[in-house]
Structure 1
Amino acid sequence: MNNSRLRHLFLLVLMLFTAHLGWAQGVTTAAMSGVISDSKGEGLPGATVIAVHTPTNTQYVAPTNSDGRFNIQNMRVGGPYTVRVTFVGYKDLTREGLNLALGQNFRFDQKLSDSSTELAEVVVSQRRDAVMSADRTGAATTVRREQIERLPTISRSFQDFTRLTPQANGNSISGRNGRFNNIQIDGASNNDLFGLGSSGTPGGQAGTQPISLDAIQEFQVVIAPYDVRQGRFSGGGINAVTRSGTNEVSGSAFVFGRNQNTAGKSPTPDPLTGQRTKLAEFSDYQTGFRLGGPVIKDKLFFFVNGEITRRSAPLLFRAANQVNGVNEVGSGIVNFVNNDQLQQISNVLRERYGYDAGSFGEINNETRSNKAFARLDWNISQNHQLTLRHNFVDASDDNLSRSQNNFRFSNNGYRFVSKTNSSVMELKSRFGSKFANNLLLGYSTIRDQRSINGSLFPSVTINFGANTVVAGSERSSTQNRLDQDILEITDNFNVFAGKHVLTFGTNNEIFRFDNLFVNDAAGRYDFPDLASFLAGRSNATNYRYRQNYGLPGGKPTAKFGAAQFGVYAQDEYNVTDKLRLTAGVRLDLPAYFNTPSYNPRVDSTFANAVTTGPAQGAAYDVRTDRLPKSRLQVSPRLGFNWDVRGDQSLQTRGGVGIFTGRPAYVWISNQYGGTGVDFANFDRTGVNAPRLATVVPDSVSRLPAKASKGSIAVTDKEFRNPQLLRTNLAVDYRLPFGLVATLEGIFSKTLNDVLPQDINLANPTSTLLGDGRPVYTAGTNPATGGPNRYRNSRDFNNVILLTNTSKGYQYSLTAELKKQFESGFFATSAYTYGQSRDLYSGTSSVAVSTWEFNPHVSGPNNLPLSYSNFDLRHRVIGSFSYRKEYAGHFATTLSAFYNGQSGTPFSYTYFGTDINNDGGNPSGSSNDLIYIPRSQNEIVLVTDGVNDRRTTAQIWSELNSFIESDKFLKEHRGEYAARNGARTPWQHRIDVRLMQDIFFTVGSKTHTLQLTADVTNFGNLLNNEWGRDYFVANQNFGLLRYQGLENGTTGRPTFSYGNGTTPTAKQAYQISQLSSRWQAQFGARYLF
């Protein structure tokens, strides 16, 4: 980064810190503003507005200006508040029971009656409405504490409540990868910034939540906030604030638990017994407490929370037994391999190589977590409040999975251990009636590490057609550790100038990463079949050995720093009492520190284009020691809110703006380990690959000769962080009976998205006869014995360039109906249609995998726009809760949540040998999309080995039957399958909670014993065919196996379908044996 530029930025940040200005409602607080007027509507200058947070007696005072306007900032979320308005010569006005939502700027316009009017003091009660609010412009969902306490949840996770957002699907928001979200707790980042876990939160890979749900006061999910202070995402923002103590000592102790007796039977019967089966023995319990109260009444408050989670769960898939020489079939059974074959593999590894592969029977995965949270709130004075809080999470998770297509021995698993410490300090200040300030400092450390099961041994993969058996040490876990440190400095302030609120601020994040990751550090063998494994090697070209290892003098870990600096300015303009405009601009400056190692061979090789011959390609200005430039990314935004009738009965809102996020920093880290001078790679196939043997991973001298410099990872010097243009338009309409209807449309256009390219893959030399797809093969490679892939340089394997694309878009249309809390009842329902298209969905982490696992036809460097992995389509949600108190000592609450959606997208691909030799995962389902034949004349079918005795006509009949039974394939005959063009069936799920409260008095206080029963997938409890959860592993289904060309090296490609012995799948998708069952969790809580 340019030093002069950085110096100027820090000077600007310093200037912002020293300014004594104010800020509008934010991601940790709420606000209140409005106009106080007389009975004629004339503003009253000098009136006094006093808002009192009743539980803590915290007072917020603001006088009105010359127009009668007032602003109160930095208010506590929740309530209840009592607001009193006074003015000499006028009757006092008091409003009680007012609650404020997170991020809400509550509009409080009031008219006072003069003292000559014979009226008593006006006292009214009011609930908040976060929908019909003048500050609301873009799409957002607020989840209140009442919803958190009442709605069903078993995992007690963020996702159980962010799912209330109509445009969300799991961790994906608005059709984007969850990696592009920004999660904040108490205004500080709480993300998996490196981007390795699926949850997007620290500790996610250890199966834990980032904080106890009991510590959370309120959630907010924002998709298009035109407030420039909210940024760092191109998906969605998730904001949460934690609980704090009050003047009353209160607390709770709880326990929740479940086991195999609180879960339903398998969704489908066992094929041998004809009976549906129960889960194997398991246990899952959570216990904890919370306690809050005053240290000094009205002045200093504390809140503490602790939680322990323990889970022991069995693997869902077991190997098949042989019955009359045939492997049994059925849900939960891996039927491509049987127990006798697994015993044979285990015996060979133990007796020949001295390695214990572990169990291939039923085993349990253990998950544990310990959480502790503490918070102090200090009312320093009426104008200054200080918050200090710390969150600690210690978690571990046994990681071993099996599926119908993949079977792993127990010692191929690993344990993931994670520890997170996160501290936040927030100082909220007000300076008179015109200025306020909010300073937030956050610091977090995250320590993640994998430990392998059993002793160290090379990874061994044995292919059974499109299926695999894996033994040995898990290939990515023998050297895998990550340390992260995050420092965050945020300051926000504004000036209240009549109808304008001028906001200025800065948000800065500084990261330090220390990543040890060596894939295949202990070596990896891929055997084409069981016979070759028993022989210890094979001459087949799909027999392969790979190993990565450190070079002398190389850097063993990726240690680097990064930062995101941001400054912004905004004008919130109340044009009239009905119309509010928000216009602002945000400047984000990414920076990277600590350059990777320099490999002169890389830039000298790719600086000049290869201009002749079949390998001709473009020149690339790349260097292994050069990271992206620090370039400002500008995000202007404009939002509006129009109260059409002036009574908050009809509201139109919307806006347009640019949103800039972060990359997953693992993509940047790849460059540190992919220089070609720190690590080398040995990769050989067929006769050139070594026999299976124990390999010492740190002994270079024992590696076979001809090791290469491996794969290279570089980043485009012009690379920009993910960025998109997003616009929305919405109408909110208040209906009778407390209902609010919303119609909302959102459209996002990609400006800068992540795109990996292999710049060492030269242009294709030909096309596949009868298929037309490009082919990258030219004879035999003498070094490997396999097909020769045209490369720009033989010194390297893949050279992955991380660059940008502007192709892609997402849109959604939502109709929503809400019933606010009233008389113990609330409800919401919504329908959303969404579509998302991209070139790359950002689902992988390792440099090569980001490129090679992207299904295509036209070549992996020439991707067309297609459906995203996060394409939503149809989604229907609904929730309700009703609470009834009776008999003076009892209350019963019934709550439910429904989610229905039109499946998940997946791709149909070939499997087996790489059909076009582009290097795309030849050992499993490849990255090559299939051609869907219209008739038998358009495909050459062959048998799958000597045991397959079917005729060509029989094979076609089976394949044709599969195509006809699949809606997508049937409708697209004569075409290439589109990436993610197919979808699993519709899925419907209902979760239910029944809660019983029993009140009793201890001394002068009411205590409560609360009993809960949560049932997820309640429909399956009523009917075993309801509530089924469908999935396709890795969203990729290998339908046809490529068997080579007709004449060996020429002719059309040939394919096999099935193998003639094992029954072929009736559909691409599988039924989840766990989530398709109903499951119940029972709990008890004591509140005081």
Structure 2
Amino acid sequence: MKNLFTRLMLIVVMCLPVHLSWGQGTTTASMNGVLSEASGAGLAGATILAVHTPSNTQYAASADANGRYNLQNMRVGGPYTITATYVGYQEQRKENIFLALGQNLRLDFNLSQGAIGLSEVQVVAERGAVINADRTGAATNVSREQIQNLPTLNRSLQDFTRLTPQASGNSIGGANNRYNNITIDGAVNNDVFGLAGSGTPGGQAGTQPISLDAIDQIQVVLAPYDVKFGNFTGGGINAVTRSGTNNWEGSVYGFMRNEKTIGKDPVTEAKPADFQDYQTGFRIGGPVIKDKLFFFLNGEITRRSEPLLNNLGDAGSTVPRDSVEMLYNYLNTNYGYDAGSFGPLDRRTESNKIFARLDWNITDRHQLTLRHNFVDAFDDNISRFTNGFRFANNAYEFASTTNSTVAELRSRFSESISNNLIVGYSRIRDKRDTPGGLFPMIRINYSNGGTGNVDAGTERSSAFNELDQDIFEVTDNLIAFLGRHTLTLGTHNEFFSFRNLFVNNGNGYYQFNSFRDFFRTDANGNPAPRPFRIEQTYSADANNPRPAAEFDAMQLGFYVQDEISVTDNFRLTLGLRLDIPVMPDTPDRNYALEKAYFPYNGLRDLRTDETPSGQLLWAPRLGFNWDVKGDKTFQVRGGTGIFTGRVPFVWLSNQFTNNGITFNTLFRNNPPRFEPNIDKIRDLGTAGTTAEINLVTNDFKIPQTFRTNLGIDYTLPLGIIATLEGIYSKTLNDIVYQDVNLRQPTGTLVGADNRPTYPTQRGVHSGFTNTILLSNANRGYSYSLTGQLQKNFENGLNTMVAYTYGESKDLNSGTSSTARSNWQFNQIVWNPNDPELSYSRFDVRHRIIATGGYTFNYAGNFGTSIALFYEGQSGTPFTYLYRGDLNGDGNTGNDLMYVPRDRSEINIVDDKQWADLDAYISGDSYLSTRRGQYTERNGARTPWTHQVDLRLTQDFLFAAGGKNHKFQLSFDVFNVGNLINKDWGHQYFIQNSAVELVSASRNATTNIPTYTFSKPAKKVWGNTFSSRWQGQVGLRYIFQ
């Protein structure tokens, strides 16, 4: 299989055109314009020279017959000095030009006749203006200055992608965050397998994918009609890293947090437990060979240590200390197993990062960049509760190591032809390391209303849990400048290799009703623990005891585009992109499944060894930009097109192991004995004859969406830029899960709630449990409308405010990594195999953001900066449900609730419960609008949230040794409102985004439901840790 992966990868690479600029992620900027004389006529043959002042990198071109020029593959940032010359005309120079990531700056020159050698100098301070000819769709650019000055607590990309009005958390445009694409230096930086909530490598180990000090600029795009952007249906997050220049510059820094920089719990007023969190690092850049070769190096470490709460004997703990100590000694004495400490523990999170980059100006026409990013991190995962206790060796350490290398060659072969080649390789290794030797997991219940438990042994999901990812990618594009046409021919190809080892309960999982049952002895006084249940999953192949899902995949992309300057103030972009996902490997074949027929779904001949592959996914796009007045004060822009994403590969990997033949499953109540040898547990009973099957239709298509937008940018008095932007997206291909083994319903409930009910024998075929099929649906949409004002003042003040209203609906939000969970917890009323269109888990609704910053220097050597970020949002969506399995489909936690109009519509236990329920419904802003109707998936929302973050920096400057030096003291405060008033700044959450408000059951014979309601003692939402104010102190030394 690996040889096949290599051969296919090499074949594709060798078939690339010899001279095909960036594709998947932007790494550069560009410049274009017209060189003309006073009459407006173009100056054919006039010369334009752009010099990146810090590195003396030069970009030159001659104007064509109409005076047009085009400079591609330029370094982002600046400052640039741009010089236009023509024989017999006065030289003209524009200085202090800065280029934003992905920007194509339009810069015209009008030359006057005059003496050669005289020059006209203009200082224009161009810095990625909002109104520029290359903008079509919605996009947000974050500059180096914003990264340095805005508040950041986690020093993460997300701290800055939140500047995008249409974003919320990791979600962009109301889409699943798994549908985003993240690139750094043009190379994939996603968690493409799809397990990390952050969406980035190392996310499960609590680390950021790269040090923030290595980042130069960030760009977020939602609707880029440039076909070089792809592999997302949410948003594209694109960052480029810093590079060295002719100037030696660097920094040493440290940031610290502890319990003294965090507020009390706003509800209980409990003080935070002692902890320490610090980051320290350095960066340095400079020339290796002046004007030719430059380096940049960054290193950073992060250390966090915090004590576990709810230890034995702590206030509120119900865990019996004597029994815990006896259990520790019992396991050690009788089985030679050390369960680990039962005393206080610290939870540690650590990461080490190294980033290195070289930039080589080979010639004025060719530049090469080579960089490597290394991240090594781990996170101790263990928690204790007042009624739940875990020994130290029941923890696991999530370890993650990432090595990512990218090489980029930027070339200009002539005045009209340029090329950009990017080659990248990432190696990601994630593993759960478990302390102590392998031992079955033991859960012992103790007397506390049946809710208390003590866990010992190896954590059952971590004994065999590893993920290896290898990602190789090639991007190569040719750009040809032909007068008013800029043609692009390009390709972007990703090659993946995965190995996912996950055996839940692989070490065995015993459950005991009491400590007494565990400490039992036989007639001879020998240990004879009496479990009430044993579960174990083990390999069906004795020669392969730890089978893993191993498979390769590819996503090939090809595109062509014509960017047309129809007039000097109207630009049209026409492009066509083709994406081809390929899966050359297939899972094992289950012949027993092929004999089955699922009549209610009309399916037969289902095969576990079929995978979706080779689908041709076309994506035409059209974008436009109209400078209405021709003076960059009034711009209308927009476009329409199709965007193709990438599926989280964990959804496809389920098919490789959940096929009914790779694993056997032992599930037995009241097993005859306790067997500590994990390889002999299977002897306690016969493996189950049923199995869960995961399938994917062979015509499954990766996510696609149709997206269109229209934006207006207008310069108001005082230089304020007003933007109004509307975006609409229509689902073309998205996911839907079905259990094809589920029978059709055979009845309906009696009463106002008349949902269908399922028979006791739910499965069509007794040889299978759930048979979950992943296929496509095209129902779903999202839209947003954004209004934004922004202004940068010359005195150092900059401001921005934006309001977005958005709505997002889907059939399945895809929040889980497993097929069954994505089906089981997709809440419904009627048929779980035919879900209703409803609000997405990522629905934003109302969001307001604002930033403001001011910098002032004084007394010659001092500077003070203040920056603020505000975010207000209309809560997060959640669902009201019944508790229990009312419709009998075998799932709890998925039955939407019927909201009764009055007492006659609900068979509730007594009048008191009805009075409480009626009052609760009337007092709830959502439920009160749904009387006589069912609740909607994600239809309710938590209260509005408001958060203000602050960053204060104080600079102390001095000059020495021909360099400028600076000491900078910084203080970041997240949620300043809570620092001022404990009732401000509250953030809310609901576990699993669902509330089971009413308990429901039914008589299987009469189908009459019965309901009970217990009035909640408090609000159904809780306060998150982020409701507290949190501070961070930093100290930095800078020289430049």
TM over 0.5, yes or no? yes
Question: Is the contact made by 1:445 and 1:486 (CA closer than 8 Å) also made in structure 2?
Answer: yes
Where does residue 644 of structure 1 map in the other structure? Answer: 628
1:19-38 aligned at under 5 Å gives the runs 19=19, 27-38=26-37
Pairing 1:994–2:952 present:
yes
Question: Is the contact made by 2:844 and 2:876 (CA closer than 8 Å) also made in structure 1?
Answer: yes
Pairing 1:960–2:941 present:
no
- Equivalent of residue 980 in structure 2, options 996, 1019, 1022: 1022
Where does residue 946 of structure 1 map in the other structure? Answer: none
Pairing 1:430–2:418 present:
no
Question: Is the contact made by 1:294 and 1:301 (CA closer than 8 Å) also made in structure 2?
Answer: yes
Q: Distance in 2 between matches of 1:930 and 1:403?
A: 31
- Alpha-carbon distance change, 777 to 699 in structure 1, aligned in 2, over 3 angstroms: farther
Question: Is the contact made by 1:565 and 1:590 (CA closer than 8 Å) also made in structure 2?
Answer: yes
Provide, for residues 601-644 of structure 1, a one-character-per-residue CA deviation record: whole Å limited to 9, x for no partner. 112213xx43xxxxx44214421111113111001100000000
Q: Distance in 2 between matches of 1:526 and 1:768?
A: 36
Provide, for residues 989-1011 of structure 1, a one-character-per-residue CA deviation record: whole Å limited to 9, x for no partner. 01100000000111221100000
Q: Distance in 2 between matches of 1:597 and 1:351?
A: 43
Where does residue 233 of structure 1 map in the other structure? Answer: 232
- Equivalent of residue 489 in structure 1, options 447, 466, 474: 474
Pairing 1:979–2:951 present:
no
Q: Distance in 2 between matches of 1:534 and 1:763?
A: 47
* Counterpart residue type for residue 842 of structure 1: G
Deviation at 1:469, TM superposition (A): 5.2
Where does residue 63 of structure 1 map in the other structure? Answer: 62
Deviation at 1:547, TM superposition (A): 3.0
- Say which SS state the counterpart of residue 627 (structure 1) adopts: coil
Question: Is the contact made by 2:673 and 2:684 (CA closer than 8 Å) also made in structure 1?
Answer: no
* Counterpart residue type for residue 35 of structure 1: V
Deviation at 1:954, TM superposition (A): 3.3
1:414-425 aligned at under 5 Å gives the runs 414-425=396-407
Pairing 1:585–2:576 present:
yes
Provide, for residues 570-611 of structure 1, a one-character-per-residue CA deviation record: whole Å limited to 9, x for no partner. 0000000110000100000100122111111112213xx43x
- Alpha-carbon distance change, 232 to 465 in structure 1, aligned in 2, over 3 angstroms: farther
Where does residue 257 of structure 1 map in the other structure? Answer: 256
Provide, for residues 110-163 of structure 1, a one-character-per-residue CA deviation record: whole Å limited to 9, x for no partner. 211111799852433322234111000000000000000000111100110000
Pairing 1:723–2:712 present:
no
Q: Distance in 2 between matches of 1:399 and 1:633?
A: 41
Cα RMSD, aligned residues only: 3.0
Q: Distance in 2 between matches of 1:452 and 1:320?
A: 26
Where does residue 474 of structure 1 map in the other structure? Answer: 459
Question: Is the contact made by 1:24 and 1:73 (CA closer than 8 Å) also made in structure 2?
Answer: no
Deviates more, 1:145-154 or 1:447-456: 447-456
Q: Distance in 2 between matches of 1:812 and 1:316?
A: 43
Q: Distance in 1 between matches of 2:67 and 2:370?
A: 35
- Equivalent of residue 1067 in structure 1, options 990, 1014, 1019: 1019
Pairing 1:602–2:593 present:
yes
- Alpha-carbon distance change, 604 to 169 in structure 1, aligned in 2, over 3 angstroms: same
1:138-157 aligned at under 5 Å gives the runs 138-157=137-156
- Alpha-carbon distance change, 767 to 690 in structure 1, aligned in 2, over 3 angstroms: farther
Q: Distance in 1 between matches of 2:365 and 2:266?
A: 60
Q: Distance in 2 between matches of 1:671 and 1:89?
A: 72
Q: Distance in 2 between matches of 1:900 and 1:155?
A: 20
- Equivalent of residue 746 in structure 1, options 713, 727, 750: 727
- Equivalent of residue 1013 in structure 2, options 1050, 1057, 1071: 1057
Q: Distance in 2 between matches of 1:243 and 1:230?
A: 22
- Say which SS state the counterpart of residue 957 (structure 1) adopts: helix
* Counterpart residue type for residue 877 of structure 2: P
1:225-624 aligned at under 5 Å gives the runs 225-269=224-268, 276-315=269-308, 338-340=317-319, 363-401=345-383, 412-452=394-434, 456-458=439-441, 460=443, 471-472=455-456, 473-524=458-509, 546-552=535-541, 556-606=547-597, 609-610=598-599, 616-624=600-608
- Say which SS state the counterpart of residue 798 (structure 1) adopts: strand
Q: Distance in 1 between matches of 2:705 and 2:449?
A: 42
Question: Is the contact made by 1:31 and 1:72 (CA closer than 8 Å) also made in structure 2?
Answer: yes
* Counterpart residue type for residue 815 of structure 2: T
- Say which SS state the counterpart of residue 731 (structure 1) adopts: strand
Deviates more, 1:449-458 or 1:1002-1011: 449-458
* Counterpart residue type for residue 303 of structure 2: R
Aligned length: 1019
- Say which SS state the counterpart of residue 37 (structure 1) adopts: strand
Question: Is the contact made by 1:458 and 1:694 (CA closer than 8 Å) also made in structure 2?
Answer: no
Where does residue 888 of structure 2 map in the other structure? Answer: 917
Question: Is the contact made by 2:23 and 2:491 (CA closer than 8 Å) also made in structure 1?
Answer: no
- Alpha-carbon distance change, 1064 to 247 in structure 1, aligned in 2, over 3 angstroms: same
1:160-179 aligned at under 5 Å gives the runs 160-179=159-178
- Say which SS state the counterpart of residue 826 (structure 1) adopts: strand
Q: Distance in 2 between matches of 1:593 and 1:375?
A: 35
- Say which SS state the counterpart of residue 175 (structure 1) adopts: coil
Where does residue 872 of structure 1 map in the other structure? Answer: 844
Where does residue 273 of structure 1 map in the other structure? Answer: none
Deviation at 1:18, TM superposition (A): 1.0
- Alpha-carbon distance change, 108 to 892 in structure 1, aligned in 2, over 3 angstroms: same
Q: Distance in 2 between matches of 1:893 and 1:122?
A: 31
- Alpha-carbon distance change, 806 to 535 in structure 1, aligned in 2, over 3 angstroms: farther
Provide, for residues 816-862 of structure 1, a one-character-per-residue CA deviation record: whole Å limited to 9, x for no partner. 11113633222111000111101111110122112112111213212
Q: Distance in 1 between matches of 2:161 and 2:650?
A: 25
- Say which SS state the counterpart of residue 1075 (structure 1) adopts: helix
* Counterpart residue type for residue 889 of structure 2: D
- Alpha-carbon distance change, 362 to 1031 in structure 1, aligned in 2, over 3 angstroms: farther
Deviation at 1:510, TM superposition (A): 0.2
Deviation at 1:761, TM superposition (A): 1.2
Where does residue 931 of structure 1 map in the other structure? Answer: 898
- Alpha-carbon distance change, 804 to 409 in structure 1, aligned in 2, over 3 angstroms: farther
Deviation at 1:664, TM superposition (A): 0.5
Provide, for residues 180-207 of structure 1, a one-character-per-residue CA deviation record: whole Å limited to 9, x for no partner. 1110000000110100010010000000
Q: Distance in 2 between matches of 1:1022 and 1:75?
A: 47
1:807-886 aligned at under 5 Å gives the runs 807-820=779-792, 822-886=794-858
- Alpha-carbon distance change, 359 to 83 in structure 1, aligned in 2, over 3 angstroms: same
Q: Distance in 1 between matches of 2:415 and 2:149?
A: 39
Q: Distance in 2 between matches of 1:396 and 1:13?
A: 35
- Alpha-carbon distance change, 195 to 467 in structure 1, aligned in 2, over 3 angstroms: farther
Deviation at 1:399, TM superposition (A): 2.1
Deviation at 1:467, TM superposition (A): 6.9
* Counterpart residue type for residue 1008 of structure 2: R
Question: Is the contact made by 1:505 and 1:567 (CA closer than 8 Å) also made in structure 2?
Answer: yes
- Say which SS state the counterpart of residue 754 (structure 2) adopts: coil
Where does residue 896 of structure 1 map in the other structure? Answer: 868
Question: Is the contact made by 2:479 and 2:488 (CA closer than 8 Å) also made in structure 1?
Answer: yes
Q: Distance in 1 between matches of 2:311 and 2:725?
A: 47
Provide, for residues 974-1020 of structure 1, a one-character-per-residue CA deviation record: whole Å limited to 9, x for no partner. 32211111111101101100000000111221100000000111000
Deviation at 1:718, TM superposition (A): 0.4
- Say which SS state the counterpart of residue 777 (structure 1) adopts: coil
Where does residue 786 of structure 1 map in the other structure? Answer: none
1:780-819 aligned at under 5 Å gives the runs 789-819=761-791
Where does residue 272 of structure 1 map in the other structure? Answer: none
Among all aligned residue pairs of Structure 1 and Structure 2, give the percentage whose two residues are the same amino acid.
Answer: 53
Query: What is the TM-score when the length of structure 2 is the normalising length?
Result: 0.93
Deviation at 1:339, TM superposition (A): 1.4
Where does residue 1002 of structure 2 map in the other structure? Answer: 1045
- Alpha-carbon distance change, 698 to 318 in structure 1, aligned in 2, over 3 angstroms: same
- Say which SS state the counterpart of residue 961 (structure 1) adopts: helix
Deviation at 1:320, TM superposition (A): 11
- Say which SS state the counterpart of residue 934 (structure 2) adopts: coil
Q: Distance in 1 between matches of 2:511 and 2:711?
A: 55
